[in-house]
Amino acid sequence: MDEFFTLDELKEAVAEVRQHTDLVPEVGLILGSGLSALAKSVEGTVELPFNAIPHFPVSTVEGHRGHLVLGTLENKPVIVMQGRAHYYEGYSMAQIGLPVRVMALLGVRTLIVTNAAGGLNMTYRPGEIMIIRDHINLIGMAGLNPLRGPNLSEFGPRFPGMNNAYDPALRQLAKEVAVEAQIVYQQGVYICLAGPSFESPADVRFLRIIGADAVGMSTVPEVITARHSGLRVLGFSGITNTLIGEEGAPPPNHEEVLEAGKTLVPRLETIIRGVLRRL
Ligand code: HPA
């Protein structure tokens, strides 16, 4: 498995996409577990399976469709990742970041990322949207960073900052849209674990203590890659389950994650469409 990618390899992926469309996407969207329905609303689409694109990681998880969709949404040229690959599937961190770099090379300047997440904050309820204010890169602290390896200075610096990684103006826009549409939203800190095992009750208590509001197994590597490339980022967690952190509490399961996705999809779609209209 390739651990790192060269600019030439990234350009091979770009060339494949370019064989199918000359659309220059402004906004990239990554749709997480059970949240990929929004891709169906994209107009004038070109749809490419991930496995048709050189070097692309192919998602194997149920609920992740695994297509790259290009077209327009609210009259904005967009590129949508319908499903994503995760570290726990066996990919390297560089592979998880690769689609974001391909998006950047295709012209994307703004990335909107979504994920399904467990609620650590006791006030969160399944079906609620959390606008991501910041993240804790717990797997990064353990050494798993998508920027490990030779720096591609064409994209960005060796040591990129992560202050305001989630663009304050875009977050403000998302809040305004949510208020107008009367959608209850939360705003909080997302923490990324490697997975695929869910958190133990003691893990849950630890994650809460260190300041995380929602936990999942994605997003942070893509956001780091995007910020390295200078993309503006807006992130949403769809809260699919609440984590109690008590020994007797039932563990989360993938079915409830997909089930809550059904409530979350229309809410996320409303907010994302509203944000796109105002960009
Ligand atoms: N933990 C980790 N990832 C998740 C969860 C969870 O409880 N729910 C959805 N994704």
Which residue lies with its CA nearest to atom 10 of ligand 1? Answer: 117
With beta carbons less than 8 A apart as the criterion, state whether 64 and 36 touch. Answer: yes
- Ligand 1 centroid from CA 17, angstroms: 32
| Tokens 């890659």 sit on residue | 225
Report the run of H or E that residue 273 belongs to, with start and end. Answer: helix 254-278
- pLDDT for the residue 1: 47
- Ligand 1 centroid from CA 116, angstroms: 7
- Ligand 1 centroid from CA 220, angstroms: 14
- C-alpha 136 chain-centroid distance: 14
- Ligand 1 centroid from CA 106, angstroms: 31
Which pTM does this prediction carry? Answer: 0.94
Query: What distance in Å separates the CA atoms of residue 201 and residue 251, rounded to the nearest whole number?
Result: 9
Q: What ranges do the domains of the chain cover?
A: 7-278
Helix (H, G, I), strand (E, B) or coil at 237: strand
Structure tokens at 210: 């260190």
Residue of 120, 257, 258 with the most ligand 1 atoms within 8 Å of its CB, for mutation: 257
Can you spell out the DSSP letters for 79-109? EEEES---GGGT--HHHHHHHHHHHHHHT--
Widest CA span of the chain, in angstroms? 55
Amino acid identity at 128? E
Residue 243 alpha carbon, nearest atom of ligand 1: 7
Q: Which homologous superfamily does the CATH classification assign to the domain defined by 7-278?
A: Nucleoside phosphorylase domain (3.40.50.1580)
With beta carbons less than 8 A apart as the criterion, state whether 201 and 112 touch. Answer: no
SS3 content of the chain, % helix, strand, coil (to 5): 35, 25, 40
Can you spell out the DSSP letters for 51-68? GGSTT-----STT---EE
- Hey, which residues does 132 pair with through a beta bridge? 188
Which residue lies with its CA nearest to atom 9 of ligand 1? Answer: 117
**Residue whose C-alpha is closest to residue 241's, from 268, 267, 263, 220:** 263
Q: Which residues line ligand 1 (CB under 6 A)?
A: 116-118, 198-199, 215-217, 240-241, 243, 252, 257
- Ligand 1 centroid from CA 135, angstroms: 15
- pLDDT for the residue 40: 82
Digitized pLDDT (tens) for each residue of the chain, 279 residues in all: 457 899 999 999 999 999 999 999 999 999 986 777 787 888 878 889 888 899 988 866 655 568 899 999 999 999 999 888 899 998 999 999 999 999 999 999 999 999 999 999 999 999 999 999 999 999 999 889 999 999 999 999 999 999 999 999 999 999 999 999 999 999 999 999 998 999 999 999 999 999 999 999 999 999 999 999 999 999 999 999 999 888 888 888 778 777 787 889 999 999 999 999 999
Q: Which residues does the annotation mark as catalytic?
A: 33, 64, 86, 88-89, 116, 217-218, 241, 254
Structure tokens at 95: 């592979």
Radius of gyration of the chain from Cα atoms?
Answer: 17
C-alpha distances out from residue 90 to 85, 101, 189, Å = 9, 20, 26
Residue of 33, 208, 215 with the most ligand 1 atoms within 8 Å of its CB, for mutation: 215
Structure tokens at 125: 């309820």
Under the phi-then-psi rule, with left for phi > 0, alpha for psi from -120 to 50, and beta for the rest, what region is 242?
A: beta
